[in-house]
Structure 1
Amino acid sequence: MESIDLNSHELFINREISLLEFNIRVLAQALDESLPLLERLNYLCISCSNLDEFYEVRVASLLQMVEIDPNVISSDGLTINEQLERIAVKAHELVAEQYRVLNDILIPAMEQENIRFLRRDSWNASQKNWLEKYFNEELLPILTPVGLDSAHPFPRILNKSLNFIISLTGKDAFGRNSGRAILQAPRALPRIIQLPVHDTESGPYDFVFLSSIIHAFITDLFNGMTVKGCYQFRVTRNSDFFVDDDAIDDLMLAVEGELAMRNYGDEVRMEIDANCPEETVNFLLARFELTYDRLFMVNGPVNLSRAQAVYSLVERPDLKFPPFKSNVPSAFGRNKDYFASIRKQDILLHHPFQSFTPVVDFIRQAAKDPDVIAIKQTLYRTGVDSPVVAALINAAKAGKEVTVVIELLARFDEKDNIGLAAKLQEAAAHVVYGVVGYKTHAKMCLVLRKEGNQLRNYVHLSTGNYHPKTARLYTDYGLFSCDKELGEDVRRVFMQLTSLGKVSKLNRLLQSPFTLHHGLLKMIEREIDHAKKGKPAKIIIKVNAVVEEQAIRALYRASQAGVEVKLIVRGICCLRPGVPGVSENIEVRSIIGRFLEHNRIYAFMNGGDWAVFAASADLMNRNMFRRVEISFPIIDKKLSDRILTDLQRYLKDNSQSWLLQQDGQYHKILPGDKPLYQAQAELLKSFS
């Protein structure tokens, strides 16, 4: 039999198209009538904000690469321009579907529930009077239209801001008439306005888009002139930025400088009202140096993701997911003495099914405990008013040695992290920004406690961020332990991050960019060896993305050897399953449900003695080679068995699972004649 070249482009799926496929699966949730109506609106808005980020980061990156070297080939054999062409087709299909779902499905369904988006032509007299007053008192004083002429050049358009281009005739007080004006809606203004109940025709949840109000009263801004047309548009810009590692003396100052320019990066996309005349469209395209493949003519508000505000404005619990109360493990005991509890046993938390509160309380207790000498913590995303940061500040004020490694380059959280760093430094905590050139993405907390004549290390390691709000929305694992070798490994990693020196040998942790990639490949090869010897062999991996080519080829070899490979991949997957002679033994599924699947688990059968690792890292090049990541073993068999049981739940899901096909498309699994089974619902039930 002729050997198959595992480097063949045909064996890889394009990562950008795979990411768009994820967005299609998110949008499909908005069509699922079994879900509460306002949650369906939420999924629509999430798919829109995801697409924003896709253009801000991924498309922007490809456009920059075209300028550097247009001949670069992706793992699936496409040039950059070919990728951009395919992205344009897929993205336009996605946007058309987003507005169809809004206009034809969700808006009519919400009207049935007396939640109405009122168009200008449907306002009654009392509503119009109220909106005119709102315009005059709340909007008119802060709106600044700019007439385009030689003294008023085209204004700088903020990234993703709501704007209007207005066509005019007539002359103003100075005899000017350029024929066009630009109006930018200030970001402070709400994009959706809730109307009060005026009369029997009004409902409790009547809403009007800000764009509709401006359209209705735009003539008030141009006294004595005639408004021929007013069309909303929005420009998406490159929001990624580059910090030259070799040319900076102070990382914080460099990041602050780049942040100031983020709103004015290169234009990568324009959305504009579908009714806008071709002449005006071409004028804007020329102004922003954009081509038609990055133009989106939309039938509705250009800033569709802002409709998410309706969710919190409408007090209808029957149209939302039922509330749940996160469980606090009994292992912590009634007195919540975290140190005593952790000394007895390792404790595993599974968020959001189990509460994040013990993580915060653990740090708070460490801050107050007179026997605690030092606390070391990594922070990637944690929120502006973080209770974790508050606890660290209190610890520093109490005289503890507090060291915090803050990642300033956590995308879209840079500004918040700069503010948190300043607060911690004011409290006399030691703040460092990790290693220049490598994002610190590891999730670790280390508490050093004096117990008798010895120092004991208590650790919390996690697959997710120290962010209480996202811990209610993202699925993640967190491990408490005082295992001696594990604690020593964590201490050594912190030493690497805060000082200089060679890489220390780690006993239990795998760490990127040093041992994680090699360690995972080694465990895959071990399963291949077992399969070749006729022993049972199985790999289960649950991550957010599978991109890294060496790992994909290793999984192909595993499949060829007869290893059963189950991949649960939320988003991007470049591995192509079901290819004869290559990947028949690989199944790839994606779970899209109430919670964002975020935990990373690498599980290997290991001859029946399962090796289960949780990690901060996905199977991506950046996580393996350009970030500081950790993967930690689940040593306690009860806990590793619990994770394996959780994985089986996901593999059994027949309601929120999508199977990746050989052609790169995803098909949703339907229960058919079998009882409906939802992994997330079962987990909620098991911890309730």
Structure 2
Amino acid sequence: MKATPPPPRHAVDLDAPELYINRELSALEFNFRVLAQARDPDVPVLERLRFLTIVSNNLDEFFEVRVAVLKHKHALGVATPGADGLSSGEILTRLRERALELVAEIYAIWHDVLGPALENEGIRFLTRDRWTDKQRRWLLGYFQNEIMPVLSPLGLDPAHPFPRILNKTLNLAVVLKGRDAFGREGHMALVRAPRSLPRIIRLPAEVSGDANDFVFLAEVLQAFADEIFPGFEVCASYQFRVTRNSELVVEETEVENLAHALREELAGRGYARPVRLEVGADCPRAIADMLIHNFQLEDADVYRCDGPVNIIRASQIYDQVDRPELKYPRFTPRLSPAFGKGVNEFDVLGTRDVLLHHPYESFASVVDLLRRAAQDPDVLAIKQTLYRAGKDSPLVDLLVDASRNGKDVTVVVELRARFDEEANIGLAVRLQEAGVQVVYGVVGYKTHAKMMLIVRRESGTLRRYVHLSTGNYHTGNSRGYTDIGLMTANPEIGEDIHKIFQQLSGLGPMIQLKRLLHSPFTLYSSVMARIEREIEHARNGRTGRIVAKLNALNEAHVVEALYRASQAGVSIDLIVRGACTLRPGVPGVSDNIRVRSIVGRFLEHSRVYWFGNDGQPELYCASADWMERNLMRRIEIGVPILDPALADRVYTETLDLYLRDNTQAWLLGADGRYTRREPATGELPHSAQQALLVSYCG
């Protein structure tokens, strides 16, 4: 796309707050784009339900981390305005306004769109006013036999104070009338749903016929509350759910054992400070006030739900309903043509680099490489980072096998991977018990880089084989996330990776790398230098061009540099899935910048940086977004794609195809609002994800 000429030179304050979108508001805005998938009639109905529950889960995590941290800083008076200039109080107010709109949209879709669409397919979520006599009798029996024996209702009085309520659990506040066997007058009681109980109950065919009928546990508890409190009149019952601060804070410089300190923090996370209270829409003010008081919250922390407060649990039916026609068509990821049957991966990589594009290409190639390394007698050492590995990871099994086969195995386990901390502690223990050397990276810096290094003896010399990726070593994510992986035996890249592992496991000095960009050292400065190079090209009458695909963009200095590049005439296209603090299309500032977000079947996760360099382009695949934390406070890498054919492939498949998407692309305007792209008159629909699915998987 041709850039507009540079504007006349005049002073433009690129630090002006109005040029920057607030990062938290932008992160929340992403969920509206995901929620649009739940409304889209072209998306299979069970997938639409899944998108709705994804938004609900995202909103949970948004409050657990982003809102929790902001509220904490606001309370302490230590929150400092970002580039957007908003105070913490202003941000919290705007977040609440937009979150209320999101919650209202979730339940409107639940009632008005998804409910009817699911019922048309014979899938029903039945509220108690819709139960038949036969269904009610069956549910009463289920309640008496399966639910009642594990309940521990709590009457609230001076001897039974308000209990600790676990994070994100289902609860009922029950209003009672009458006296118990001790003469105590009942007013209020709480019913906590044990975690052992299923939140969604499927009715058997003998009571529902051919329909797939489901009932939320909360409906059953409310319907039979009188069974829980015999002798009392149950006047009413109301659902509620509390969300707590889930951000772990460990002063790493003050602890002797990070794993032990994190384990202690995890024990209390479920009962950390509350940040949000969800109540049923019918909950009266007096009950809400009682809950607000006991959770030490404010009115602004309350969100009323016009439906199940734990609507996220509806996702459980996705696997229970065997209706393939109501889901995305199944696909089989293509096996990389580089690795034919019986081919030795080391022989292939000894002659060429291999690129993997997930989920269209199978992650099995990575597993097979590690399996061969674990068994190959010539392999001496294996080093790997694990940020998120997933439950029952075959890679972990192979690392254990390699250690038992006498290989020197070192694994960098990131214990602070958010919401995976407990799993990673268990993973570290298992690896250590198998003789693997486990390290936790560098104090104060999360290890977010995705790297595997294999050292093999060949003809009397040592050769390094490397796998690098934009995504985690998680076989499940590899089927739902888009990511780029590179397998190579390039000596310079291998040496760079060796140095990084040495730095992570030892106490080495600053290292000089030949090929890789390395955060927190050279990645930021290298990106900035390449932006400046494009500016110089444009100012000297040459072509300036930048294309980048990211999950998020919020680093203020990078944004300011992109503004200067636009002013110089550099043409810039940014494909940013989530939060973006840059405002494109501002006259005289960002006329030459376009920003789009792609939301579809797969979660866009690959990070790709492309710099035109006046006809001699450079392309990097990276683990890092252009965010302050990735560039300044994490261990990250960016790897150049040196093979021109592979670089062209990455450009085509991750950038060009996405810039032409006219069905799943959302365009960001200068006002901070996103508009869904639609095919123009006479223009054929084009989805980048669908085009890649067809190309790879048929």
Q: Which residue of 2 aligns with 1:574?
A: 581
Could you tell me which amino acid in structure 1 is paired with residue 519 of structure 2? S
Matched, 1:630 2:637: yes
Q: Which residue of 1 aligns with 2:3?
A: none
Q: 1:476 aligns to what SS in structure 2?
A: strand
Deviation at 1:607, TM superposition (A): 1.5
Deviation at 1:69, TM superposition (A): 2.1
Q: Quick one: distance in 1 between partners of 2:193 and 2:406?
A: 48
Q: Which residue of 1 aligns with 2:160?
A: 152
Could you tell me which amino acid in structure 1 is paired with residue 17 of structure 2? H
Q: Is the 8 A contact 1:49 1:305 kept in 2?
A: yes
Q: 2:100 aligns to what SS in structure 1?
A: helix
Map 1:486-565 onto structure 2 (within 5 A): 486-565=493-572
Q: 1:331 aligns to what SS in structure 2?
A: coil
Aligned to 2:467, which of 460, 478, 500?
Answer: 460
Q: Quick one: distance in 2 between partners of 1:52 and 1:544?
A: 19
Map 1:643-662 onto structure 2 (within 5 A): 643-646=650-653, 647-662=655-670
Q: Quick one: distance in 2 between partners of 1:687 and 1:481?
A: 22
Deviation at 1:404, TM superposition (A): 0.2
Q: 1:565 aligns to what SS in structure 2?
A: strand
Which stretch of the first structure deviates more once superposed, 635-644 or 120-129? 120-129
Q: Any idea what the Cα deviations from partners look like across 1:386-405, whole Å, max 9, x if unmatched?
A: 10000000000000000000
Q: Which residue of 2 aligns with 1:670?
A: 678
Which stretch of the first structure deviates more once superposed, 1-10 or 79-88? 1-10
Q: Is the 8 A contact 1:527 1:558 kept in 2?
A: yes
Instruction: Indicate how the Cα distance of structure 1 residues 675 and 549 shifts in structure 2: closer, same or farther if over 3 A, else same.
Output: same
Q: Which residue of 2 aligns with 1:683?
A: 692
Aligned to 1:81, which of 80, 89, 105?
Answer: 89
Q: Which residue of 2 aligns with 1:423?
A: 430
Matched, 1:245 2:252: yes
Deviation at 1:202, TM superposition (A): 3.3
Q: Quick one: distance in 1 between partners of 2:298 and 2:679?
A: 45
Could you tell me which amino acid in structure 2 is paired with residue 61 of structure 1? V
Q: 2:565 aligns to what SS in structure 1?
A: helix
Q: Any idea what the Cα deviations from partners look like across 1:295-324, whole Å, max 9, x if unmatched?
A: 111111001111101111111111100000
Q: Which residue of 1 aligns with 2:149?
A: 141
Aligned to 1:371, which of 378, 390, 402?
Answer: 378
Q: Quick one: distance in 2 between partners of 1:545 and 1:117?
A: 36
Q: Any idea what the Cα deviations from partners look like across 1:573-606, whole Å, max 9, x if unmatched?
A: 0001011111000000000000000000011011
Q: Quick one: distance in 1 between partners of 2:290 and 2:433?
A: 51
Instruction: Indicate how the Cα distance of structure 1 residues 50 and 71 shifts in structure 2: closer, same or farther if over 3 A, else same.
Output: closer
Q: Quick one: distance in 2 between partners of 1:467 and 1:188?
A: 27
TM-score normalized by structure 1?
0.99
Q: Quick one: distance in 1 between partners of 2:671 and 2:315?
A: 33
Q: Which residue of 2 aligns with 1:381?
A: 388
Aligned to 1:54, which of 62, 69, 83?
Answer: 62
Matched, 1:588 2:589: no
Map 1:401-480 onto structure 2 (within 5 A): 401-480=408-487
Q: Quick one: distance in 2 between partners of 1:266 and 1:292?
A: 16
Q: Which residue of 2 aligns with 1:6?
A: 14
Could you tell me which amino acid in structure 2 is paired with residue 230 of structure 1? S
Matched, 1:215 2:222: yes
Q: Is the 8 A contact 2:279 2:304 kept in 1?
A: yes
Q: Is the 8 A contact 2:180 2:186 kept in 1?
A: no
Q: Is the 8 A contact 2:253 2:443 kept in 1?
A: no
Q: 1:249 aligns to what SS in structure 2?
A: coil
Could you tell me which amino acid in structure 2 is paired with residue 111 of structure 1? E
Q: Quick one: distance in 2 between partners of 1:648 and 1:426?
A: 47
Map 1:288-437 onto structure 2 (within 5 A): 288-437=295-444
Give the number of aligned pairs: 687
Could you tell me which amino acid in structure 1 is paired with residue 691 of structure 2? E
Q: Is the 8 A contact 1:196 1:204 kept in 2?
A: no
Q: Quick one: distance in 2 between partners of 1:56 and 1:288?
A: 15
Q: Quick one: distance in 1 between partners of 2:324 and 2:379?
A: 44
Q: Is the 8 A contact 1:74 1:80 kept in 2?
A: no
Aligned to 1:278, which of 285, 308, 317?
Answer: 285
Could you tell me which amino acid in structure 1 is paired with residue 661 of structure 2? D
Q: Quick one: distance in 1 between partners of 2:362 and 2:79?
A: 50
Deviation at 1:70, TM superposition (A): 5.5
Q: Is the 8 A contact 1:617 1:624 kept in 2?
A: yes
Q: 1:344 aligns to what SS in structure 2?
A: coil
Could you tell me which amino acid in structure 1 is paired with residue 692 of structure 2? L
Q: Which residue of 1 aligns with 2:189?
A: 181
Could you tell me which amino acid in structure 2 is paired with residue 480 of structure 1? M
Q: 2:206 aligns to what SS in structure 1?
A: coil
Q: Is the 8 A contact 2:19 2:583 kept in 1?
A: yes
Q: Is the 8 A contact 1:327 1:355 kept in 2?
A: yes
Q: Is the 8 A contact 1:41 1:106 kept in 2?
A: yes
Q: Is the 8 A contact 1:333 1:341 kept in 2?
A: no
Matched, 1:257 2:273: no
Q: Quick one: distance in 2 between partners of 1:292 and 1:75?
A: 29
Deviation at 1:173, TM superposition (A): 1.1
Q: Quick one: distance in 2 between partners of 1:374 and 1:566?
A: 42
TM-score normalized by structure 2?
0.98
Q: 1:539 aligns to what SS in structure 2?
A: strand
Q: Quick one: distance in 2 between partners of 1:87 and 1:401?
A: 50
Could you tell me which amino acid in structure 1 is paired with residue 413 of structure 2? I
Q: Which runs of 4+ in 1 moved over 4 A?
A: none
Deviation at 1:71, TM superposition (A): 6.0
Q: Which residue of 2 aligns with 1:17?
A: 25
Q: Is the 8 A contact 2:73 2:79 kept in 1?
A: no
Q: 1:393 aligns to what SS in structure 2?
A: helix
Could you tell me which amino acid in structure 2 is paired with residue 196 of structure 1? P
Could you tell me which amino acid in structure 2 is paired with residue 319 of structure 1? L
Q: Is the 8 A contact 1:404 1:430 kept in 2?
A: yes
Q: Is the 8 A contact 2:551 2:579 kept in 1?
A: yes
Q: Is the 8 A contact 2:359 2:481 kept in 1?
A: yes
Q: Quick one: distance in 2 between partners of 1:178 and 1:194?
A: 33
Unaligned runs of 5+ in 1: none
Could you tell me which amino acid in structure 1 is paired with residue 42 of structure 2? S
Could you tell me which amino acid in structure 2 is paired with residue 239 of structure 1? S
Deviation at 1:153, TM superposition (A): 1.0
Deviation at 1:357, TM superposition (A): 0.4
